[in-house]
């Protein structure tokens, strides 16, 4: 998934501004009177800071006029001193009110960032498996990262910088008009309007540049993450140079767009400076004429200059952050769109929890395809009685692993139904369903944490004794104890530091620790050697006793004791029965058994074909 950027010519109006309305509940959270109080206090301090800010030039004018007085009064030293002290106090007050406002609002802003990020994180986990199989992890993480940063940026720069700056400009223009005449209000107003129009027009032109830069950034980030996640594959084929070249192409695209972005930014800044300089010059000429004509004092001249400088600083700031504000709106919109993405599989309103009575699993005329145009399962029906073990075998691509995904309700079936103890999976909550099932997948992925954490993941609240017992049943305890750091040993990214067999035994241990009523073994021993496989098969047999067990297997020797074996071919069940019954039929199962037994005999005798030995 890519982080969204503005398309050329797109206006950041209703589409992005609506994002702010989505943000309001997080700024005024229900049940949080403390945060609401902070918001109100921050607004009061905002008003105080702006009042103090526009007062500064007025006090400065009085001080200058007092210093230039020619009446020789004894107050000539005392009065300016008091005014100068007042000037300094007002400046400090304006700064203090602003800083105190930011300090009070920081908790509100960070709470909003945290809640939005958490809501997005939870929602992403609630999205379908299809979404996660099709996503680009790097782009998705960037979208969330940019969105959360955009919240903080918008809150502080829009709420407490941009809007107050506009208010300050209007106040200053009003004061200048009231003290002098309309020209002193029109000149700064026209200057500001020209500044804003120029900034908007040039920024719209720069949007395409920013879009290309973000696309290149996402592309480079996705390529680097993908390459690092597949570190071993890169090494196997010696393709470090190839990966570096792909990454460099993406970086070159980002470099080119970034240079152009910086050049266009310089053009924007120069244009903004020219507009401000023209406005300042015109206003200072008007003030100078007033002083010469005797209608204005030197203090008035200084005050006008102070107002212009005071307005020019936030104007320059406004021009600089406009692009970031607009991009933050877009990034935030992207995250909220992600937050509003519909989950493919959802619980029905008021759906009850699964009521387990024994764990009987029934597939009733199930048909399914990831794409409706290409069916995977075709009219599949079978029942696994409570406490029984049913095995599903067949060639690759027959649809065996699809059955496990449907059982976990990662997908809903297109036709038919799947039931546990007579309850349709679509009628119960997903949480209760998945709590009732434990799986040992074919491809085990571990968290980049300790061995202990990964074993305990099956039931995080379990005691250490329970975790160790599960590890012993999975035949991994002795191995872990032999490590320098024991259960505190880190397994690396995706479990890279462990072998395939070790990772699978960790997966078996955490499923044992979960203690579900229904067990699903999806090629659970495929990465183990024959000796370890036999040891773990004995453990799995003990663990699955009195539990409903569904075994998806390639090695037929691991399922000979199953209560029923289903032979799946091209999405259909072509044979079913016990091991001996299927052998007697001399069908698909018997042929698979004969091939595997012959291969096993060759392995044990060491008489392998030349090409196999070479591998």
User: Where residue 421 falls among pLDDT bands split at 50, 70, 90?
Assistant: very high
Topology of domain 14-339, CATH: ABC transporter transmembrane region fold (1.20.1560)
Residue with tokens 């500044």: 195
Any idea which of 161-165, 211-215, 358-362 has the lowest mean pLDDT? 161-165
Name every residue whose Cβ is closer than 8 Å to that of residue 64 and which is 6 or more positions away in sequence.
297, 298, 299, 302, 303
Determine contact, residues 471/455, Cβ cutoff 8 Å.
yes
pTM of the model: 0.62
So what's the pLDDT on residue 279? 84
Q: How far is CA 375 from CA 128, 147, 395, 403, 572, in A?
A: 19, 38, 16, 13, 11
CATH architecture of 354-436+518-615: 3-Layer(aba) Sandwich (3.40)
Most confident of 363-367, 479-483, 486-490: 363-367
Instruction: Please tell me the distance from the alpha carbon of residue 374 to that of residue 341, in angstroms, as a whole number.
Output: 25
Q: Note the Cα 389 to chain centre separation in Å.
A: 40
Confidence band, pLDDT 50/70/90 cuts, at residue 609 = very low
**pLDDT at residue 319 tops 60:** no
- List the single range of 55-59, 228-232, 528-532 with lowest mean pLDDT: 528-532
Which pLDDT value is given to residue 135?
61
Query: Mean pLDDT throughout 503-519?
Result: 87
- Cα–Cα distances (Å) from 292 to 288, 296, 300, 474, in that order, read 6, 8, 12, 96
Mean per-residue pLDDT, 7-32: 64
More confident site: 190 or 64: 190
The predicted structure's pLDDT at residue 444: 78
Q: Is residue 353 scored above 70 in pLDDT?
A: yes
Average pLDDT score over the chain: 81
Q: At residue 74, does pLDDT exceed 50?
A: no
Confidence label for 298 from pLDDT (cuts 50, 70 and 90): confident
Residue 71 has pLDDT above 70, yes or no: no
* pLDDT reading at 8 higher than 70: no
Contact by Cβ (8 Å): 109, 39:
no
Q: What is the pLDDT of residue 1?
A: 41
Q: What is the CATH number of domain 444-515?
A: 3.40.50.300
Tell me the two tokens of residue 215: 């696309």
pLDDT over threshold 60, residue 11: no
Q: What percent of the chain has pLDDT over 70?
A: 86
Task: Give the Cα separation of 108 and 111 in Å (integer).
Answer: 5
Split at pLDDT 50, 70, 90, the class of 424 is very high
Cβ contact 111:35 at 8 Å: yes
- What is the token pair recorded at 603? 């392995």
Predicted pLDDT of residue 611: 37
Which CA distances in Å does 102 have to 52, 89, 183, 574, 584?
16, 20, 36, 70, 80
pLDDT at residue 77 greater than cutoff 60: no
Cross-strand bridge partners of residue 522: 552
User: What is the structure's pLDDT at 181?
Assistant: 86
In sequence order, the β-bridge partners of residue 576 are: 566
- Long-range Cβ contact pairs of 339-345 (< 8 A, separation 24 or more): 339/116, 339/119, 339/120, 339/123, 341/123, 341/127, 341/131, 343/123, 343/126, 343/127, 343/128, 344/127, 344/128, 344/130, 344/131, 344/411, 344/412, 345/128, 345/409, 345/410, 345/411, 345/412, 345/430
Q: What is the pLDDT of residue 527?
A: 58
- Range with top average pLDDT, 8-17, 67-76, 317-326, 561-570: 561-570
Residue 312, Cα to own-chain centre: how many angstroms?
Answer: 38
**Separation in Å, CA 14 to CA 2, 20, 149:** 22, 10, 21
pLDDT of residue 192 exceeding 90, the answer is no
For the segment 547-568, the average pLDDT, to the nearest whole number, is: 88
Tokens of 510: 């955490």
**Sequence spans of domains, the chain:** 14-339, 354-436+518-615, 444-515
Could you report the per-residue pLDDT of 117-168, keeping only the tens digit for each?
Answer: 888 888 777 776 777 666 655 566 677 777 777 787 777 776 667 777 777 7
Same fold, 14-339 and 354-436+518-615: no
SS3 content of the chain, % helix, strand, coil (to 5): 65, 10, 25
**Could you read off the pLDDT of 228-251 as tens digits, one per residue?**
888 888 888 888 888 898 889 888
User: Are 388 and 549 in contact, with CB atoms under 8 Å apart?
Assistant: yes
364 within 8 A of 381, measured Cβ to Cβ? yes
C-alpha to C-alpha distance for 96 and 51, rounded to whole angstroms: 13
DSSP at 450: B
What is the pLDDT at residue 127? 76
Q: What is the mean pLDDT of residues 358-365?
A: 92
What pLDDT is recorded for position 107? 84
Residue identified by tokens 């290409």 is 374
| Beta carbons within 10 angstroms of residue 396's beta carbon | 7
């Amino acid at each position: 998934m890519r982080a969204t950027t503005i398309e050329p010519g797109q206006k950041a109006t209703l589409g992005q501004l609506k994002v702010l309305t989505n943000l309001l509940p997080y700024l005024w959270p229900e049940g949080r009177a403390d945060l609401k109080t902070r918001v109100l206090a921050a607004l009061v301090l905002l008003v105080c800071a702006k009042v103090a800010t526009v007062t500064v030039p007025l006090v400065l004018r009085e001080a200058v006029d007092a210093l230039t007085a020619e009446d020789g009064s004894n107050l000539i030293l005392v009065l300016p001193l008091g005014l100068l002290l007042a000037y300094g106090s007002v400046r400090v007050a304006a700064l203090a009110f602003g800083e105190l406002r930011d300090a009070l609002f920081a908790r509100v802003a960070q709470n909003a960032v945290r809640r939005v990020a958490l809501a997005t994180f939870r929602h992403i986990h609630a999205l379908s498996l299809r979404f996660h199989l099709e996503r680009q992890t790097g782009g998705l993480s960037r979208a969330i990262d940019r969105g959360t940063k955009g919240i903080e940026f918008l809150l502080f720069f829009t709420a407490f910088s941009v809007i107050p700056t506009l208010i300050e400009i209007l106040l200053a223009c009003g004061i200048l008009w009231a003290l002098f005449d309309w020209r002193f209000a029109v000149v700064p107003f026209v200057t500001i309007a020209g500044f804003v129009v120029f900034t908007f027009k040039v920024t719209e032109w720069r949007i395409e540049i920013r879009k290309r830069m973000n696309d290149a950034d996402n592309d480079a980030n996705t390529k680097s993450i993908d390459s690092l996640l597949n570190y071993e594959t890169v090494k196997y084929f010696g393709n470090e140079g190839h990966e570096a070249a792909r990454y460099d192409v993406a970086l070159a695209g980002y470099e080119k767009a970034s240079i152009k972005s910086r050049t266009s930014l310089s053009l924007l800044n120069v244009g903004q400076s020219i507009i401000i300089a023209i406005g300042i010059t015109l206003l200072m000429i008007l003030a100078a004429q007033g002083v010469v004509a005797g209608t204005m004092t030197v203090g008035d001249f200084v005050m006008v200059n102070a107002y212009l400088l005071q307005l020019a600083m936030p104007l320059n700031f406004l021009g600089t952050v406009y692009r970031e504000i607009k991009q933050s709106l877009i990034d935030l919109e992207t995250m909220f769109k992600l937050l509003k993405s519909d989950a493919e599989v959802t619980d029905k309103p008021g759906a009850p929890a699964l009521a387990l009575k024994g764990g009987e699993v029934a597939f009733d005329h199930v048909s399914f395809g990831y794409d409706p145009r290409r069916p995977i399962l075709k009219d599949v029906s079978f029942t696994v009685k409570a406490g029984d073990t049913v095995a599903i075998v067949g060639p690759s691509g027959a649809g065996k692993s699809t059955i496990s995904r449907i059982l976990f309700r990662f997908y809903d079936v297109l036709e038919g139904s799947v039931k546990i103890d007579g309850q349709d999976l679509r009628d119960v909550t997903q949480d209760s369903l998945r709590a009732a099932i434990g799986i040992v997948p074919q491809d085990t992925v571990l968290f980049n944490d300790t061995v202990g954490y990964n074993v305990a993941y099956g039931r995080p609240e379990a005691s250490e004794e329970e975790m160790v017992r599960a590890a012993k049943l999975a035949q991994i305890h002795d191995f872990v104890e032999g490590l320098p750091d024991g259960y505190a040993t880190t397994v690396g990214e995706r479990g890279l530091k462990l072998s395939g067999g070790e990772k699978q035994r960790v997966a078996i241990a955490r499923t044992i620790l979960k203690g579900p009523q229904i067990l699903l073994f999806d090629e659970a021993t495929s990465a183990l050697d024959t000796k370890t496989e036999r040891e773990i098969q004995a453990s799995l047999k003990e663990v699955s006793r009195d539990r409903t067990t569904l075994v998806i297997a390639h090695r037929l020797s691991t399922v000979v004791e199953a209560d029923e074996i289903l032979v799946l071919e091209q999405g259909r069940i072509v044979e079913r029965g016990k091991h001996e019954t299927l052998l007697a039929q001399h069908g698909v199962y018997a042929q698979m058994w004969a091939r595997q037994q012959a291969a096993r005999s060759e392995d044990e005798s060491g008489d392998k074909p030349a090409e196999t030995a070479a591998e």
